[in-house]
Amino acid sequence: LKDYKAVGKIGEGTFSEVMKMQSLRDGNYYACKRMKLHFESIEQVNSLREIQALRRLNPHPNILTLHEVVFDRKSGSLALICELMDMNIYELIRGRRHPLSEKKIMHYMYQLCKSLDHMHRNGIFHRDVKPENILVKQDVLKLGDFGSCRSVYSKQPYTEYISTRWYRAPECLLTDGFYTYKMDLWSAGCVFYEIASLQPLFPGVNELDQIAKIHDVIGTPCQKTLNKFKQ
């Protein structure tokens, strides 16, 4: 990353850390996602779902902009240089005493729906829509972190563990990987409630509690639906 100077750390996940970087070329600030895994080849890098998704979905006003992919073949290290946003939705609502205005909530939710619509039309579903993965910069909202995304056309069942429990749709909790892109809309609904109320909607402490909390609010599924789940 010789063209960038690290300014500070923004966050860290299981597979990456995110740094605030200044470009030595244009002086602008960017978010740099450095992968902890090392890669053997540029082909392996290009086959990463996250990179494929960002390239396919960019440019869109409500999808995080990918500026460049920096791969050092000698060390195998990989970094994604993305646009720097102000904060994520979790940070926006975490410390608030007073709710956001209805107008602002509506504007944010409209943009989130636009990002999901664009993604689903392009054959990708996110699978981890949650406040931490939704970024804002003043009045603009952008969906980020495509590390869990899948192609709409890939085969079910999906085996790997996906999506943060609180935002997980019932079909993800009640089946072994038989869910569709519609799960993103469930998550968006949970986010909508949380932006409006400043409280999570279904904060389950484990999978069983998660289902119980959902059922306490919207009732248990009808027999027809349960039969479908049993299959």
Q: Which residues are annotated as a binding site for ATP?
A: 33
SS (H, E, C) 30-82: EEEEEECCCCCCHHHHHCCHHHHHHHHHCCCCCECCEEEEEEECCCCEEEEEE
Half-sphere exposure of 167 (CA within 13 A, CB side): 24
The CA distances from residue 42 to 34, 51, 74, in Å, are: 16, 12, 11
Residues 190/200, Cβ–Cβ less than 8 Å = yes
3-state secondary structure of 89: helix
Q: In what order do the strands lie in the sheet with 134-137?
A: 87-88, 134-137, 140-143
Tell me the two tokens of residue 231.
């299959």
Task: Kindly list the catalytic residues.
Answer: 128
Distance CA 23, CA 99 (A): 36
